[in-house]
A and B are shown apart, each in its own frame.
Chain A
Protein backbone atom coordinates (compact mmCIF):
# COMPACT_ATOMS: atom_id res chain seq x y z
CA UNK A 1 0.00 0.00 0.00
CA UNK A 2 1.11 3.53 -0.72
CA UNK A 3 1.78 5.87 2.16
CA UNK A 4 3.58 9.05 3.11
CA UNK A 5 4.85 10.14 6.49
CA UNK A 6 5.50 13.63 7.75
CA UNK A 7 7.57 13.16 10.88
CA UNK A 8 7.16 16.70 12.22
CA UNK A 9 3.84 18.06 13.47
CA UNK A 10 5.26 21.56 13.46
CA UNK A 11 8.26 23.41 12.06
CA UNK A 12 9.34 26.80 13.36
CA UNK A 13 11.66 29.03 11.38
CA UNK A 14 12.66 32.70 11.45
CA UNK A 15 11.80 34.89 8.49
CA UNK A 16 14.62 34.97 5.98
CA UNK A 17 16.01 31.62 7.05
CA UNK A 18 15.80 28.50 4.87
CA UNK A 19 13.01 26.08 5.63
CA UNK A 20 12.60 22.35 5.19
CA UNK A 21 9.42 20.34 5.67
CA UNK A 22 10.12 16.61 5.66
CA UNK A 23 8.28 13.81 3.89
CA UNK A 24 9.12 10.15 3.42
CA UNK A 25 7.20 7.74 1.27
CA UNK A 26 6.51 4.05 0.92
CA UNK A 27 5.24 2.86 -2.45
CA UNK A 28 5.28 -0.16 -4.65
CA UNK A 29 6.45 0.85 -8.08
CA UNK A 30 7.25 4.39 -9.19
CA UNK A 31 6.33 7.13 -6.72
CA UNK A 32 4.12 10.02 -7.84
CA UNK A 33 4.50 12.65 -5.15
CA UNK A 34 2.85 15.99 -4.47
CA UNK A 35 3.02 18.88 -2.04
CA UNK A 36 -0.04 20.94 -1.15
CA UNK A 37 -0.44 23.93 1.17
CA UNK A 38 -3.52 24.91 3.15
CA UNK A 39 -4.07 28.35 4.62
CA UNK A 40 -6.56 28.74 7.50
CA UNK A 41 -10.17 28.04 6.53
CA UNK A 42 -9.19 27.44 2.92
CA UNK A 43 -8.92 24.53 0.54
CA UNK A 44 -5.62 22.98 -0.45
CA UNK A 45 -3.41 24.58 -3.07
CA UNK A 46 -1.03 22.60 -5.26
CA UNK A 47 2.65 23.53 -4.86
CA UNK A 48 4.60 20.99 -6.91
CA UNK A 49 4.84 17.39 -8.00
CA UNK A 50 7.39 14.74 -8.85
CA UNK A 51 6.57 12.27 -11.59
CA UNK A 52 9.87 11.45 -13.29
CA UNK A 53 12.94 13.37 -14.36
CA UNK A 54 15.01 15.83 -12.37
CA UNK A 55 15.26 15.09 -8.69
CA UNK A 56 14.94 18.79 -7.85
CA UNK A 57 11.42 20.00 -8.59
CA UNK A 58 10.55 23.68 -8.59
CA UNK A 59 7.08 24.83 -7.72
CA UNK A 60 4.92 27.79 -6.79
CA UNK A 61 5.82 30.66 -4.44
CA UNK A 62 9.56 29.86 -4.53
CA UNK A 63 9.19 26.36 -3.11
CA UNK A 64 11.15 23.38 -4.35
CA UNK A 65 11.40 19.74 -3.37
CA UNK A 66 14.16 17.22 -3.60
CA UNK A 67 13.33 13.65 -4.53
CA UNK A 68 15.75 11.14 -3.02
CA UNK A 69 15.11 7.57 -4.07
CA UNK A 70 17.70 5.97 -1.81
CA UNK A 71 16.27 7.70 1.26
CA UNK A 72 12.65 7.48 0.00
CA UNK A 73 12.22 11.14 0.80
CA UNK A 74 10.61 14.15 -0.86
CA UNK A 75 11.43 17.11 1.38
CA UNK A 76 9.95 20.54 0.69
CA UNK A 77 12.37 23.45 0.82
CA UNK A 78 12.55 27.19 0.42
CA UNK A 79 15.75 29.24 0.57
CA UNK A 80 14.25 32.19 2.46
CA UNK A 81 11.05 31.86 4.49
CA UNK A 82 8.34 34.52 4.60
CA UNK A 83 5.83 35.13 7.37
CA UNK A 84 3.13 34.55 4.75
CA UNK A 85 4.43 30.98 4.27
CA UNK A 86 2.93 30.07 7.64
CA UNK A 87 0.36 27.39 6.84
CA UNK A 88 -0.36 23.66 6.93
CA UNK A 89 1.63 21.61 4.43
CA UNK A 90 0.64 18.19 3.15
CA UNK A 91 2.80 15.70 1.33
CA UNK A 92 0.82 13.28 -0.83
CA UNK A 93 1.26 10.25 -3.05
CA UNK A 94 -0.94 8.92 -5.78
CA UNK A 95 -2.37 5.47 -5.14
CA UNK A 96 -1.80 3.62 -8.39
CA UNK A 97 -4.42 1.01 -7.54
CA UNK A 98 -7.17 3.17 -9.02
CA UNK A 99 -7.80 4.38 -12.54
CA UNK A 100 -9.98 7.06 -14.05
CA UNK A 101 -9.63 9.78 -11.51
CA UNK A 102 -7.24 8.81 -8.81
CA UNK A 103 -6.90 8.38 -5.11
CA UNK A 104 -4.40 10.62 -3.36
CA UNK A 105 -2.98 9.54 -0.03
CA UNK A 106 -2.17 12.53 2.18
CA UNK A 107 0.33 12.71 4.99
CA UNK A 108 -0.76 13.92 8.40
CA UNK A 109 0.38 17.45 7.66
CA UNK A 110 3.07 19.73 9.06
CA UNK A 111 2.25 23.15 10.45
CA UNK A 112 4.85 25.73 9.49
CA UNK A 113 5.28 28.83 11.64
CA UNK A 114 7.50 31.59 10.29
CA UNK A 115 8.35 34.21 12.88
CA UNK A 116 9.13 37.79 11.91
Chain B
Protein backbone atom coordinates (compact mmCIF):
# COMPACT_ATOMS: atom_id res chain seq x y z
CA UNK B 1 0.00 0.00 0.00
CA UNK B 2 1.71 3.21 -1.22
CA UNK B 3 -1.13 5.56 -0.47
CA UNK B 4 -1.70 8.44 1.91
CA UNK B 5 -5.39 8.97 2.61
CA UNK B 6 -7.01 12.12 3.94
CA UNK B 7 -10.49 12.79 5.25
CA UNK B 8 -12.64 14.65 4.66
CA UNK B 9 -12.11 15.66 1.03
CA UNK B 10 -13.96 18.92 1.57
CA UNK B 11 -14.78 20.83 4.73
CA UNK B 12 -16.76 24.02 5.26
CA UNK B 13 -16.69 25.50 8.72
CA UNK B 14 -17.58 28.66 10.53
CA UNK B 15 -15.11 30.71 12.50
CA UNK B 16 -16.42 29.38 15.81
CA UNK B 17 -16.41 25.71 14.85
CA UNK B 18 -14.02 22.98 15.94
CA UNK B 19 -13.14 20.37 13.35
CA UNK B 20 -10.36 17.89 12.64
CA UNK B 21 -8.54 16.75 9.54
CA UNK B 22 -7.29 13.18 9.42
CA UNK B 23 -4.43 11.55 7.57
CA UNK B 24 -3.40 7.89 7.43
CA UNK B 25 -0.57 5.91 5.84
CA UNK B 26 0.45 2.27 6.07
CA UNK B 27 3.84 2.43 4.42
CA UNK B 28 5.77 2.28 7.68
CA UNK B 29 6.92 5.87 7.26
CA UNK B 30 8.03 7.49 10.50
CA UNK B 31 7.96 11.10 9.29
CA UNK B 32 4.63 12.79 8.65
CA UNK B 33 3.88 16.35 7.54
CA UNK B 34 1.13 18.93 7.28
CA UNK B 35 1.24 21.50 4.49
CA UNK B 36 -1.03 24.38 3.59
CA UNK B 37 -1.41 25.24 -0.08
CA UNK B 38 -3.13 28.27 -1.55
CA UNK B 39 -4.30 28.22 -5.16
CA UNK B 40 -1.47 28.15 -7.72
CA UNK B 41 1.14 28.43 -4.96
CA UNK B 42 3.66 25.92 -3.61
CA UNK B 43 2.88 23.99 -0.44
CA UNK B 44 3.91 25.72 2.79
CA UNK B 45 5.19 23.48 5.53
CA UNK B 46 3.26 23.69 8.80
CA UNK B 47 4.37 20.77 10.98
CA UNK B 48 6.67 17.75 10.87
CA UNK B 49 6.40 14.70 13.11
CA UNK B 50 9.32 12.29 13.44
CA UNK B 51 8.77 9.06 15.32
CA UNK B 52 5.44 10.45 16.53
CA UNK B 53 7.09 13.49 18.09
CA UNK B 54 6.70 17.04 16.82
CA UNK B 55 10.04 18.02 15.31
CA UNK B 56 9.19 21.10 13.27
CA UNK B 57 6.56 23.78 13.86
CA UNK B 58 6.84 26.54 11.31
CA UNK B 59 5.44 29.21 13.63
CA UNK B 60 1.88 28.14 12.90
CA UNK B 61 -0.90 29.94 14.83
CA UNK B 62 -2.25 28.03 17.80
CA UNK B 63 -5.68 27.71 16.20
CA UNK B 64 -4.04 24.81 14.33
CA UNK B 65 -3.16 21.93 16.66
CA UNK B 66 -1.46 18.81 15.28
CA UNK B 67 -1.58 15.39 16.85
CA UNK B 68 0.14 12.13 15.98
CA UNK B 69 -1.58 9.36 17.97
CA UNK B 70 0.47 6.57 16.38
CA UNK B 71 2.90 5.93 13.56
CA UNK B 72 0.12 5.62 10.95
CA UNK B 73 -2.14 8.51 11.88
CA UNK B 74 -1.83 12.27 11.82
CA UNK B 75 -4.54 14.72 12.81
CA UNK B 76 -4.89 18.45 12.49
CA UNK B 77 -7.34 20.00 14.94
CA UNK B 78 -8.88 23.29 13.88
CA UNK B 79 -10.49 25.89 16.13
CA UNK B 80 -11.50 29.51 15.66
CA UNK B 81 -10.13 29.70 12.14
CA UNK B 82 -10.15 32.78 9.98
CA UNK B 83 -11.35 33.08 6.36
CA UNK B 84 -7.73 33.47 5.24
CA UNK B 85 -7.11 29.94 6.50
CA UNK B 86 -9.16 28.61 3.60
CA UNK B 87 -6.81 26.46 1.53
CA UNK B 88 -5.93 22.93 0.48
CA UNK B 89 -4.36 21.10 3.42
CA UNK B 90 -1.98 18.37 2.38
CA UNK B 91 -0.62 15.54 4.45
CA UNK B 92 2.58 13.76 3.45
CA UNK B 93 4.80 11.01 4.77
CA UNK B 94 8.31 9.76 4.16
CA UNK B 95 10.87 7.37 5.48
CA UNK B 96 13.30 8.93 7.90
CA UNK B 97 16.46 9.60 5.93
CA UNK B 98 19.12 7.05 6.69
CA UNK B 99 21.91 7.30 4.17
CA UNK B 100 19.49 8.10 1.37
CA UNK B 101 17.20 11.04 0.98
CA UNK B 102 13.66 9.96 0.59
CA UNK B 103 10.85 11.53 -1.31
CA UNK B 104 7.54 12.43 0.26
CA UNK B 105 4.25 10.74 -0.50
CA UNK B 106 1.34 13.16 -0.51
CA UNK B 107 -2.32 12.61 0.17
CA UNK B 108 -4.99 14.18 -2.07
CA UNK B 109 -5.67 16.94 0.43
CA UNK B 110 -8.63 18.42 2.25
CA UNK B 111 -10.16 21.50 0.68
CA UNK B 112 -11.05 23.74 3.63
CA UNK B 113 -13.37 26.73 3.39
CA UNK B 114 -13.80 28.99 6.41
CA UNK B 115 -16.88 31.19 6.35
Interface on A for B, CB 8 Å cutoff? Answer: 32, 34, 36, 41-46, 49, 51, 88, 90, 94, 98-104, 106-109, 111
Per-residue contact bits, chain B 16-42, to A (CB 8 Å; 1 contact, 0 not): 000000000000001111000000111
Contact A34 B42, beta carbon cutoff 8 Å: no
The residue among A36, A46, A102, A111 with the most chain B CB atoms within 10 A of its own CB is A102
**Known contacts A44-B90, A101-B33; is-contact A108 B103 (Cβ 8 Å):** no
Residues of B within 8 A of A32 (CB): 101
> Would you call the interface of chain B mostly helix, strand, loop, or mixed?
strand
Interface on B for A, CB 8 Å cutoff? Answer: 4, 6, 30-33, 40-43, 45, 48-51, 55-56, 88, 90, 92, 94, 96-97, 100-101, 103-109, 111
The complex places the Cα of A101 from the Cα of B106 at a distance, in Å, of 14
**B100 touches which one: A51, A101, A111 (CB < 8 A)?**
A51
Contact B41 A94, beta carbon cutoff 8 Å: no
Contact A43 B90, beta carbon cutoff 8 Å: yes
Closest chain B residue, CB of each to CB of A33: B101
**Known contacts A43-B4, A43-B106, A45-B106; is-contact A101 B43 (Cβ 8 Å):** no
**Known contacts A41-B111, A43-B107, A43-B108; is-contact A102 B40 (Cβ 8 Å):** no
A and B contact pairs by CB, cutoff 8 A, 8 listed: A34-B103, A44-B92, A46-B103, A88-B40, A98-B56, A101-B48, A106-B42, A109-B41
Known contacts A42-B108, A101-B33, then 6 further A-B pairs from the complex at CB < 8 Å, ordered by chain A residue: A36-B106, A44-B92, A44-B104, A98-B55, A101-B94, A102-B48
Residues of A within 8 A of B107 (CB): 43
Residues of A within 8 A of B42 (CB): 90, 106-109
* Min distance, Cβ B99 to any Cβ of chain A, angstroms: 10
Contact B31 A102, beta carbon cutoff 8 Å: yes
The complex places the Cα of A107 from the Cα of B43 at a distance, in Å, of 9
